Amino acid sequence: MISKSINKKVGAIIQARIDSSRMHRKIFTNLDGKPVLEHVINKLKKSSCIDEIIVATSNDFKDREIIEWCKKKNIKYFKGEKEDVLSRFYHCAYRYKIDTIVRVTSDNPLLDIIIVDEVIKLFNKDFDYVANNIKKTFPHGLDVEVFNFESLKKSFTDANIASHREHVTQYIRHNPKKFRISNLEAKENNHHIRVTLDTKEDYKLLNEVVKIGGIDIGLEQLLKI
């Protein structure tokens, strides 16, 4: 099993890109007056557990728009491999000296920071990896994963399957004997609810939800809506 650091720096790494097969430039789509990506960042700033926030994009020329936006907003960023996202995360965490990585994606503007902090606190009970979607009980769009740098490094070194390089935590999730893994479950299964942003239909729904409950809507009110 992996040993954890004593003095941990907790960093949220937001996976972001311009290209999307179903909805181009979705992370800069306006929602409640701001780009979706900015909402994700603002949510993470409210965490009581996170020390640093970094947007991790690719070195593809199309993603320069993300970098320029981060510079204007004074947001930390990192650019790395486009397809080998595991490599991107490893080098990003290494560059910013992050011990505990909080992984979120840039297309989940209704991210619930209470759930994020709950996952981090569960992780701190001596686990290598904790998520809330190993067993899927939360609405799709409230996903968060937390893991230590040692586990990320082992994944980066040992993973040799394309899907394990493209999807950051698949090597960990497929090797439960090598890592201490846990999952945060909701009180009841509401994974059939979808509040992520992949399509124009998703965008219409997100707008309707925000009109009723506001951009900072929590899980309880979301379920009522």
Task: Give the pLDDT confidence of 66-109 residue by residue, as tens digits.
Answer: 999 999 999 999 999 999 999 999 999 999 999 999 999 999 99
Amino acid at 99: D
**What pLDDT was estimated at residue 22?**
78
Are 44 and 12 a contacting pair, CB within 8 Å? yes
Q: Is 76 helix (H, G, I), strand (E, B) or coil?
A: strand
How confident is the prediction for the chain on average, in pLDDT?
A: 95
Taking the C-alpha atoms of residue 178 and residue 56, their distance in angstroms, rounded to an integer, is 26
Are 116 and 218 a contacting pair, CB within 8 Å? no
Q: Is 68 helix (H, G, I), strand (E, B) or coil?
A: helix
Are 126 and 57 a contacting pair, CB within 8 Å? no
Are 40 and 67 a contacting pair, CB within 8 Å? no
Q: Where residue 36 falls among pLDDT bands split at 50, 70, 90?
A: very high
Q: Is 53 helix (H, G, I), strand (E, B) or coil?
A: strand
Q: Where residue 10 falls among pLDDT bands split at 50, 70, 90?
A: very high
Please say if the pLDDT value at position 2 is more than 90.
no
**What pLDDT was estimated at residue 8?**
87
Q: Where residue 5 falls among pLDDT bands split at 50, 70, 90?
A: very low
**What pLDDT was estimated at residue 77?**
98
DSSP 8-state assignment for residue 119 = H
Task: List, as own/partner pairs, every contact residues 68-75 make where C-beta atoms lie below 8 angstroms and the sequence separation is at least 24, other chains included.
Answer: 69/28, 69/35, 69/37, 73/38, 75/41
